């Protein structure tokens, strides 16, 4: 439930900001929000980050659909609130950009993603709300894996300890570990 709820909130936020961008911002013109630190700059991106792969937009559509499917499939195995939050935010970001790919011009599965956030001091990229959730979601996934938190809420070290105990105690230890 957490995954679906957060995904919906992120998707609505992303698409709302994109709608406001299309309706209110001039195309290809910087609008300072905090001087050079933060600007709004409306563009449509046919590629991935830094417009890489602009000629093969349909590949990104397929990749995002596969990623969304994997997240939904894994969501049924999640028993950790932290994993649910991370996967919900990641799914919402993926669905935000996938929606653009499927429904925006120039056509189905090759639509251009609406980008509008620019921080020229940090990177030359222009990005959107969905991108923020995708990047932070992937960093969070990496951290959860590094720290050994499993989808079921248990930790890697607990499983390693159980395996060590079972090896040291023979069958009796393995049976006790299985019951835990």
Give me the catalytic one of 131, 164, 165, 171: 131
Report how far residue 66's alpha carbon sits from residue 98's, in angstroms, rounded to the nearest whole number: 11
Examine the residue annotation and report whether 115 is marked as an active-site residue of this protein: yes
Catalytic site residue from 115, 164, 165, 171: 115
Q: Which of 103, 5, 101 is nearest to 60 (CA)?
A: 101
**Cβ neighbours of 16 (radius 10 Å):** 11
Distance separating alpha carbons of residues 16 and 50, to the nearest angstrom: 23
For residue 164, indicate whether it is catalytic: no
Q: Give the C-alpha separation, 20 to 30, whole Å.
A: 16
Positions annotated as catalytic residues are: 115, 131
């Amino acid at each position: 439930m957490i995954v679906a709820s957060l995904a919906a909130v992120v998707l609505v936020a992303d698409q709302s900001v994109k709608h406001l961008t299309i309706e209110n911002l001039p195309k290809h013109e910087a609008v300072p929000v905090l001087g050079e630190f933060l600007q709004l700059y409306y563009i449509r991106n046919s590629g991935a980050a830094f417009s890489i792969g602009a000629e093969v937009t349909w590949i990104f559509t397929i990749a995002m659909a596969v990623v969304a499917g994997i997240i939904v499939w894994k969501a049924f195995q999640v028993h950790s609130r932290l994993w649910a939050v991370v996967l919900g935010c990641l799914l919402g970001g993926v669905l935000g950009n996938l929606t653009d790919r499927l429904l925006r011009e120039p056509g189905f599965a090759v639509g251009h993603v609406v980008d509008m956030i620019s921080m020229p001091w940090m990177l030359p990229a222009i990005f959107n709300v969905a991108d923020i959730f995708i990047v932070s979601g992937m960093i969070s996934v990496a951290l959860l894996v590094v720290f050994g938190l499993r989808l079921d809420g248990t930790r890697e070290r607990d499983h390693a300890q159980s395996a060590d105990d079972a090896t040291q105690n023979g069958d009796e230890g393995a049976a006790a570990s299985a019951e835990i």
